[in-house]
Amino acid sequence: MQVLVTGGAGYIGSHACKALARAGHLPVTYDNLSRGFRSAVRWGPLEEGDLNDRKRLEAVVARYRPEAVMHFAALSYVGESVAEPALYYRNNVAGSLTLLEVLVRHGVHHLVFSSTCATYGNPRQLPLREDHPQEPINPYGASKLMIERMLRDFGAAYGLRSLSLRYFNAAGADPDGEIGEMHDPETHLVPIALQAALGQREKIQVFGDDYDTPDGSCIRDYIHVTDLADAHLLALDYLRGGGASTHLNLGSGHGHSVFEVIDEARRVTGRPIAMEIAPRRPGDPPVLTATAARAREVLGWQPRHPELAAILEHAWAWHKNGSRASN
């Protein structure tokens, strides 16, 4: 089966492409390479293009006639979205609207959407369940929520069936070491800790040690990127099997503090990691953890690497072997 993968050159998208190819499908990456890397596209063709370029997108969809779409392409920095909301609404929301219109026009009816726990905003109860109110506190989360809403409306009106997967903190790397986490600029905790272990940066800043948590640092639910990729394949099967549109959390159910992640990174790498306490980062809730019970029920999804140790070991294997790739 041909599957259009928007954002297939990005971190999670590229891992999904590998999983698709392994399952015998052809992932066709559509990516403008603004944040993704050409070198991460290895399991199918790369069609360079922007979601807002309707003509180009139409041509690619007409050429490959995909049976389904995995939609990862998006800008995803919370801080940047606060500073430049127009960029986020243009790229994420308007781009997705163009995509959905093109899909409907070409009779593509199945879509797996890369959503986020940032659509919930500040948690009222933890762990977060899918029925928690969605009140995003930044334009990034708002842009993803708007897309979830469009999907609902497109489902009712045009029969597009979709599964929105709300990720918690994606981390780790392909256990075979072929691809891994790479952002430019890098803002994420795990790669920053590993860069510090490698001496590529002097130290890691801990954004706040005065939160109301046991050690004072923020707690997040880290989920292995290949477990996310697996969930996307199961989501595809679910939709092809006639499953109704829905949304599911993807997390491990366990939280780890920033200090715990840094300690585990020291243990796994066997290297010192210097750190300093820095001010809180605006928009960071103290704790974000998921219950993924529904994903287990609906998809039969079972994370294969739920432990932080495996996440860090796989990420370290990739970083150590020169994660730098060029476009």
Residue 220 binds to ligand UDP (criterion: CB under 6 A): yes
Report in angstroms how near the CB of residue 48 gets to ligand UDP at its nearest: 27
Task: Return the residues of window 70-89 that contact ligand UDP according to CB under 6 A.
Answer: 78
Active-site residue, 140 included: yes
Q: Which residues pair with 114 in a beta bridge?
A: 165
Q: In what order do the strands lie in the sheet with 219-220?
A: 256-257, 219-220, 287-288
Catalytic residue among 30, 140, 167, 211: 140
Residue 284 binds to ligand UDP (criterion: CB under 6 A): yes
Among 187, 195, 200, 213, binds ligand UDP (CB under 6 A): 187
Among 228, 236, 258, 265, binds ligand UDP (CB under 6 A): 258
Report in angstroms how near the CB of residue 220 gets to ligand UDP at its nearest: 5
Structure tokens at 21: 């190819």
| Closer residue to ligand UDP, CB minimum distance, 29 or 169 | 169
Residue 196 binds to ligand UDP (criterion: CB under 6 A): no
| Closer residue to ligand UDP, CB minimum distance, 20 or 223 | 223
| Closer residue to ligand UDP, CB minimum distance, 69 or 229 | 229
Among 60, 189, 235, 312, binds ligand UDP (CB under 6 A): 189
Q: Which residues are designated catalytic?
A: 140
Give me the residues that bind ligand UDP (CB under 6 A), please: 78, 169, 187-189, 192, 204-207, 218, 220, 258, 281, 284
